[in-house]
Chain A
């Protein structure tokens, strides 16, 4: 396989696409995040369970569409575990900054963990929206809390 294609679909993205994590519906979710890009058919379905202290204790992600949307949804469903709503907003701001701006302060960037791998999608700018769709769906819902 040529190296060039691996610069868009790196190993972690492909792994999450082929083996999506938390691929399930959960019982009585507190938050249901849905989004559709009717132009390309990308679809996000993320469900979240909160503890009484508003900490995320369970997630389910059944997203459809392109590899990037599916991988981004799967990765998001993993990183949400144990986070408070405030921490999710903070993480979104850093992630959004990484995907849309040029630089992210090093200290902030460390908080992204393996989400940093998604930065390579910026090499194909038209696909950034596929990557951000799960995040947009999530933020739209938790803003209502």
Chain B
């Protein structure tokens, strides 16, 4: 059991009001709130250590380099990467996927090859592959889903075949909450000699992640969804693949030696980090990881299973709503996406906002998926460590009021 009261006290924003009501923050799949230790880390860096990294010989530069690399080590340990050279700082998951599709993809994908993604991918794990397939004359294949929002694996051996060169799949769907059987996908990919890329944007903040155990070749995630600041993300790449990859962005920091004619790349991971990196936010992400580790990722997962189970049972009291995604909380993250035939999600979102509740409405950057459900958009509530059953009660009650408000005929 988490000490939620203590946790909530660490998040200054949770004590504010919205529309004269206590804030209930259920938009964690979009971005999480930040604990005071992360906020203080940013102030402390700019107050005491601000300096560029890997360049100067002065004290500030050496101190900031140490803090920056310590954060990288923390990330490596957090996902059980054996070495920190496999950890490349990016802005977010999107940039990580673009780095892989542009660097590894353009070099290794041949005409006629297949790239497999699932039907529940975020635009960030779809559009870069569409572009790569177009440029390299490869085929982008979509693995379909079942009605319950799980992957349809009936013909997985047809979908992952000898032409498949990379399988890139989301671990936890941001629209449906589905947790995919990534181990199975990864081992199927490896069996045909394909690489496996994991989009961990929604899972790494909520589920223990072990890259050695999963055996994925690439993993991406974003700092801002796991208590860290915006503008910092992580790409993990298996060392042997990283060695053979060409740089994505080029310029300063990523070079060892430059003449007017040519350049020699810097060692890993700097080879993939052109320009001055986002130093302060990387260090603050390290603090976020310390916070998460102090609570324990399995404890966080257990808390969210409990909240999801509770919310799913409470949803049954509401009619006129369709809930998407699997109903088993063990294969579902703390994400509830729903739709009403009678009320547009934006009206639900506006109504809840007036009662202090923040949810997301729209297509959640999964437009093809939402269209396949034959609806324009969904409303989505998503939970994190600081959310409570009391908040879910208030949310369900307010949602009931919203339905009555918009559908009761005078």
Q: A residues bordering B, Cβ < 8 Å?
A: 1-2, 4-5, 8-9, 14-15, 17-19, 39-42, 65-69, 124, 127, 130
Contact = CB atoms under 8 A, between A and B. Distances in A.
Interface in B353-393: 354-355, 362-363, 375-377
B49 interface: no
A8 B351 CA distance: 9
A42 B345 CA distance: 11
Contact of B405 (A5, A15, A19, A42): A5
Given A66-B347, A67-B344, A41 B377 contact: yes
Interface of B: 19-20, 343-347, 350-351, 354-355, 362-363, 375-377, 401, 405-407, 409-410
A130 B362 CA distance: 14
Contacts of B401: 1
Contact of B350 (A15, A18, A124): A124
A11 to B, nearest CB: 9
* Residue among B343, B345, B406, B407 with the highest chain A CB neighbour number at 10 A: B406
Given A1-B401, A5-B405, A18-B409, A40 B354 contact: no
Given A4-B19, A5-B354, A39 B363 contact: yes
A2 B362 contact: no
Given A18-B409, A40-B362, A41-B376, A5 B351 contact: yes
Contacts of B355: 2, 5
Contacts of A9: 347, 405
Nearest 5 pairs of A and B residues by beta carbon: A41-B376, A66-B344, A5-B354, A66-B346, A4-B354
B180 to A, nearest CB: 27
B409 to A, nearest CB: 6
A66 B361 CA distance: 12
B219 to A, nearest CB: 30
Contacts of B20: 4
A126 to B, nearest CB: 8
Contacts of B354: 2, 4-5, 8
B111 to A, nearest CB: 33
Contacts of A124: 350
B394 to A, nearest CB: 13
Contacts of A42: 344, 376
A131 to B, nearest CB: 12
A18 B377 CA distance: 20
A17 B354 CA distance: 19
A65 B406 CA distance: 13
